[in-house]
Structure 1
Amino acid sequence: MSVGQASKYIGKTVHTLQDWDRKRKFIAHRNPINNRRFYYKSELDKLLGKDDIAKPKRKIIAYARVSSAGQKDNLKDQMNYLRQFINARGIIADEYISDIGSGLNYKRPKWLKLIKEVDQNKVACIYVTYQDRFIRFGFDFFKQFCEWHDCKIIVLNNQDTSPDKELVNDLISIIHVFSCRLYGLRRYKNKIQNDPNLKE
């Protein structure tokens, strides 16, 4: 929510929310593009003291991924970094997910299970070391998808956990797919040109 929407939701003025933020009484989030304040509904509900007892506890997830089994050391480094970051903030993760598969693969079983749980409103927060650990392309969409379900993706921006070799391999895979499609289109065109039954 914007600061204006949040002020109406909790019945306080915009000035009060801004003052609370400056005094660190109730800290706002900041838009990385325009630096404007925004708020999550779940945090505003906690501020209002709304009863959450009837609601099932939603999970905090730490997610790490590498492309191949040969990168297990990198996977371990990601997990250690996530664990240290989370524990240093007094947070207890409910689940640590170690995944192996290409960031271009949208059918990774563990990743699909996580997306399904987000869709079922079972996940409160997902921690990843770098956004391409979650998905190679389309991260902004999945971040928005999570926000629709009141789930946050926290990206720690540790670029060291994102191997350059993976990006190269993923780009090669994309080029290969498009090359195959172009080859298929050429074959289809030649077939039409050489088959008199397919000509008008």
Structure 2
Amino acid sequence: MNIADLRKSYEKAELSESASHADPLQQFDQWLNEAIRGEVPEPNAMTLATVGANLRPTTRVVLIKGYDERGIVWYTNYNSQKGRQLAGNPYAALQFHWVELERVVRIEGLVEKVSDEESDEYFHSRPLDSRIGAWASPQSEVIENRAVLVTNAAKYGAQFMLRPPRPPHWGGYRLKPDTWQFWQGRKSRLHDRLRYSLQADGQWLRERLAP
């Protein structure tokens, strides 16, 4: 089969100005909860794009762990590739793709670390094996084989037992949005696409973009 012949007609819903929220966070909250209720696989999964010193963008999938008027939160190893890139260029983009609902949300903005208290609280809520894993994995570094991870996990498991502390190199990031885009698939590729841009007065400008 020719991959160029793969097509789908998007006809499940629409996104109008009159039916959407004036505040993009409320629109996101509505769509995320609809994805959860609709049992979309991993509705909390989002693609994170960062740019390194070589100006080449990189992407990876991370999981949203919180959101409010301050921004979108996820947790990771600060020494990872994304952590090093964010240290040099603190701007990033996020994307949610809920295939079953024919929806995409794109978010752009400045990224900052969450407080130590927030990172501690989330870290200690994780399963024990995940907390040990934060110590065991030198994320993004070259390792000889999988045995390195298994050996590290055994070492830190024996060292910390049931009470591993949060590693100093592990914690949360918060993206503070200045741009949101909401995309709803429509028939004949005439998709609905609304962009929200943060204005100098703190208000959001909502505009329709051509698909």
TM interval, shorter chain, is under 0.3
Instruction: Report which of the two has the higher share of helix.
Output: 1
TM-score by length of 1: 0.25
Tell me the TM-score normalised to structure 2 length: 0.24
Bigger strand share: 2
